[in-house]
Amino acid sequence: MKRREFLKKTGISAAAVASATIAAPTVWAKEKTYQWKMVTTWPPNLPILQTGAERFAKRVEIATNGRIKIHVFAAGELVPALEVFDAVSSGTVEVGSGAGYYWAGKVPAAQWFSAVPFGFNPQGINSWFYSGGGLELWEETYAPFNLVPRPQGNTGVQMGGWFRKQMNTIDDFKGLKMRIPGLGGKVVAKAGGTVVLLPGGEIFTSLERGVIDATEWVGPLHDLRMGFYQAAKYYYYPGWHEPSTCLEVIFNKKVYDDLPADLKTILDAIAMETNLWSLSEFEASNGAALQELITKHKVELVRFPEELLNKLRVMAEEVLEEEANKDAMSRKVHEAYKTFKKQVGIWGTVADKAYFDLIADKYSLKA
Amino acid sequence: MKRREFLKKTGISAAAVASATIAAPTVWAKEKTYQWKMVTTWPPNLPILQTGAERFAKRVEIATNGRIKIHVFAAGELVPALEVFDAVSSGTVEVGSGAGYYWAGKVPAAQWFSAVPFGFNPQGINSWFYSGGGLELWEETYAPFNLVPRPQGNTGVQMGGWFRKQMNTIDDFKGLKMRIPGLGGKVVAKAGGTVVLLPGGEIFTSLERGVIDATEWVGPLHDLRMGFYQAAKYYYYPGWHEPSTCLEVIFNKKVYDDLPADLKTILDAIAMETNLWSLSEFEASNGAALQELITKHKVELVRFPEELLNKLRVMAEEVLEEEANKDAMSRKVHEAYKTFKKQVGIWGTVADKAYFDLIADKYSLKA
């Protein structure tokens, strides 16, 4: 019950209540309230990504009993997608939601906190963030930009993309026009491809008309909604370029640092909750969507040939080294990423991979 | 700042503050505080499990600004491990922490919420809980016992256990005396083994003296500390019997239901945060521990033969059907589990398994 309602209902004086309170086992807190704006890089209603940002805001409001209210704006509603970083950094708005690779031009090291080709799987990246020093490095990377980052979601292992022709050898990338962002795009460019950047709304038409030969997007749930199966025949896996794409929530550092410890903890906990929730949602939805693509839309599901993947992996290592040379922070992050990956790699093989080998034969890839 | 401190420091009257407050954008809340006891099934200081329960309590206290204080008691400090369920159910204490299979004798359906042989991996079980209706079924299962459950941790895929002799065929289980609890133990019994239940403190000595031939425990981090490598030569994987063991926090239902929405949300968020934190901790620690077991202690790491695993899987399916026949709730939970597993299975194979196949060759199993 709010104090003013309490006073109204009981009719007793504020002074009497206050003096009674001193002896009673209750806490009277004068609590500041906050009205924040959150801008995102996602289109309105984009499942799990934009709806995840909205879920975060709603849960924070409930958990803080209204002390923090966050009004969420999708890409373009207040600022364009790629201006989210600057809007939060400058304090124009208090919160943002996006992914680190969008800021690669400004902060090369940010790429390691979103998607690394042939990098961690979701369990590995979360372990690095929360138990391997990854989040501290991320904070260090964003601090000069007045930002505090937190993982807010994970797409899981993505699909390799939609191709209008079969990909048999690494040479098939030569001259291939593909929409693929981030470090994965740099690897495709190294393989001889032409990397095309397109807004989400223009990808389908470009693919259908042959302006591009291939595109990656997210995974079955989102790819199905985009209708790519009508424009390209082959659906390749696995998503070597984005094996655990992390979505981020970023707070203006001054705003975050000035909060009392309880509110900071609530924001951190709800961000971590949303991170796990989003991976759970992807896992729950992608199976049925993939089944529909195969069964109803007769999509041809194809695994990239081993030899092609091995060549991409060598190129990915070269790209990462080149990027790591861009500045000291990138080098520091890259080395830490590699070290932790080596540390957990053996365990993933013995535990998770061996278990997958055991259960996977129960699930056929065809209907 | 607390109200009493505020009044003291400013020297103004409570009534004046209250009247100013009505116009100001602040919230005055008369907040009840709670002092709770949490009893766990874990020994004092047991890494990630007991320390995870303590972390949960501490984070809740910070996030609620002291409105909920939880005093944590390890197994035996207030009630014995196996009486945790009853202590929370009866309201003797407000909170408990353990795992569902400990209550199998009382609530057979609880087993599906802890560890299912050949069941979900960690990503799968979390998806079932949070996005596939699993948690709602768990609440339905525990409601008649006045309990509200939440996932609070996950061990990840466990190891298969320590054996004093090699396991080459399913017949090697005949007459084998093994310490293995839960549904996995029922499968070993079906294979002809003798299942032995021992408190944690007696396992090492029993194994060393040959009173038992084999034991499972958790994974490299915990197994290393127990010193099993000094008593058994072969360390088998994968942990077919516990591929995603879920740890639970249980609240007395009356206590939980009477809370305001903000406190409920904070408890739920911190439980989910702790769930992800624990899996991250296991992932971060097990690799180095496994490396130490192999390199320093010359443990022989062996994969169970394929044929043996296939026979265990058939027996596990029989055990699950038998358990599901025990009551209506078990049947309902078993069917829901199977349905969701089928739904996400294809996605795990295409995404996660295919990606593991790609990266695993980078990590050798030997030093």
Query: pTM to 2 decimals?
Result: 0.91
A59 reaches B (C-beta below 8 A): yes
Mean pLDDT score, B296-306: 95
Among B residues 217-246, those touching chain A with beta carbons less than 8 Å apart: 219-220, 237-240, 243
Q: Could you give the domains of chain B? A: 32-153+244-283 (3.40.190.170), 161-240+286-329 (3.40.190.10)
Angle at which helices B261-295 and A50-63 pack, to 10 degrees?
Answer: 120
Task: Note the pLDDT of residue A310.
Answer: 95
Nearest chain A alpha carbon to B118: A359
Q: How many Å apart are CA B349 and CA B338, to the nearest integer?
A: 16
Which chain A residues are closer than 8 Å to B118 by Cβ?
A: 358-359
Residue A267 Cα distances to A258, A313, B33, B67, angstroms: 13, 37, 21, 17
Q: How far is B285 from chain A (nearest CA, A)?
A: 8
For tokens 């044929």, what's the residue? B307
Could you tell me if B11 lies within 8 Å of chain A, comparing CB atoms?
A: no
Nearest to B230 by CA among B291, B296, B305, B178: B296
Q: In which band, very low, low, confident or very high, does the pLDDT at B357 lie, cut at 50, 70 and 90?
A: confident
Q: Supply the mean pLDDT for chain B.
A: 91
What's the rounded Cα separation, in Å, for the pair B84 and B147? 11
The residue of A10, A64, A320, A347 whose CB has the most chain B CBs within 10 angstroms, and thus the best one to mutate to test that interface, is: A347
**Least confident interval from B171-185, B308-322, B345-359:** B345-359
Supply φ then ψ for residue A322, to 5 degrees.
-60, -45
The nearest CA of chain A is from the CA of B10 a distance in Å of 13
Closest in A22, A30, A238 to B6, CB measured: A30
According to the model, what pLDDT value does residue A349 have?
81
Identity of the residue numbered A38: M
Q: Assess A280–B contact: CB distance below 8 Å, yes or no.
A: yes
User: Beta partners for B235?
Assistant: B162, B301
Instruction: Say yes or no: A281 contacts chain B, CB-CB below 8 A.
Output: yes
pLDDT classification of B14: cutoffs 50, 70, 90: very low
Mean pLDDT of B167-174: 98
Separation of alpha carbons A162 and A179, rounded Å: 10
Q: How are beta strands A161-163 and A234-237 bridged, if at all?
A: antiparallel
Give the lowest-confidence range in A44-53, B17-26, B245-254.
B17-26
List, in sequence order, the alpha helices (H) in chain A. 3-10, 14-23, 50-63, 84-89, 122-131, 134-142, 182-190, 200-208, 220-226, 253-257, 261-295, 306-324, 328-348, 354-359
Nearest to B351 among A128, A238, A352 (CB): A238
All residues at 6 or more sequence positions from A244 whose CB lies less than 8 Å from its CB, including other chains:
A115, A119, A120, A121, A122, A124, A125, A154, A155, A156, A157
For residue A272, the model assigns a pLDDT of 98
Distance of CA B150 to the CA centre of its chain: 10
A151 touching chain B per CB within 8 A: no
Indicate whether B190 pLDDT > 60: yes
Among B324, B366, B361, B351, smallest CA distance to B121 is for B351
Task: Classify A189 as helix, strand or coil.
Answer: helix
How much is the average pLDDT of B325-351? 92
Tell me the average confidence (pLDDT) per consecutive run of 10 residues in chain A, 367 residues long: 43 42 47 95 96 98 98 97 97 98 96 96 96 98 98 97 98 98 96 91 95 97 97 96 97 98 98 98 94 94 95 97 97 97 85 82 49
Q: What is the pLDDT of residue B29?
A: 53
Element (H, E) at B183: helix B182-190
Q: Is the pLDDT of residue B364 over 90?
A: no
Lookup: tokens for A334:
């890259």
pLDDT in tens, B191-232: 999 999 887 889 999 999 999 999 999 999 999 999 999 999
Best of B344, B355, B357 to disrupt the A interface (most A CBs within 10 Å) is B355
Helix (H, G, I), strand (E, B) or coil at B256: helix
Q: Is A191 in CB contact (< 8 Å) with chain B?
A: no
With an 8 Å Cβ cutoff, are A287 and B345 in contact? yes
Express as a percent the part of chain B with pLDDT over 70.
90
Is B30 in Cβ contact with A3 (below 8 Å)? yes
Helix or strand run (H / E) with residue B65: none
Chain B residues inside the 8 Å CB shell of A279: 123, 126-127
Q: How would you class B261 by CB atoms within 10 Å of its CB: exposed for 0-12, middle for 13-18, buried for 19 or more?
A: exposed
| Side chain identity at residue A260, one-letter code | P
Inter-chain CB proximity A27 and B28 less than 8 Å: no
Rounded CA separation A142/B174 (Å): 59
Q: Which structure tokens are listed for A249?
A: 């929530």
Long-range CB contacts (within 8 A, 24+) of A334-342 = A334/A112, A336/A133, A336/A134, A336/A137, A337/A112, A337/A116, A337/A119, A337/A120, A337/A128, A337/A134, A340/A127, A340/A128, A340/A132, A340/A133, A340/A134, A340/B284, A341/A119, A341/A120, A341/A124, A341/A128, A342/B363
From chain B residues 154-173, the ones with a CB under 8 A of any chain A CB are: 156-159
Q: Please tell me the predicted confidence (pLDDT) of residue A37.
A: 98
Name the one residue in this structure whose structure tokens are 């294979």.
B191
The A95-98 sheet, strands edge to edge: A68-73, A34-40, A95-98, A246-252, A147-154
Contact B280 A127 (CB under 8 A): yes
CA distance A80 to chain B (A): 31
Query: Mean of the pLDDT values across residues B167-173?
Result: 98
Q: Average pLDDT in the B313-337 region?
A: 97
Tell me phi and psi for residue A237, to 5 degrees: -145, 165
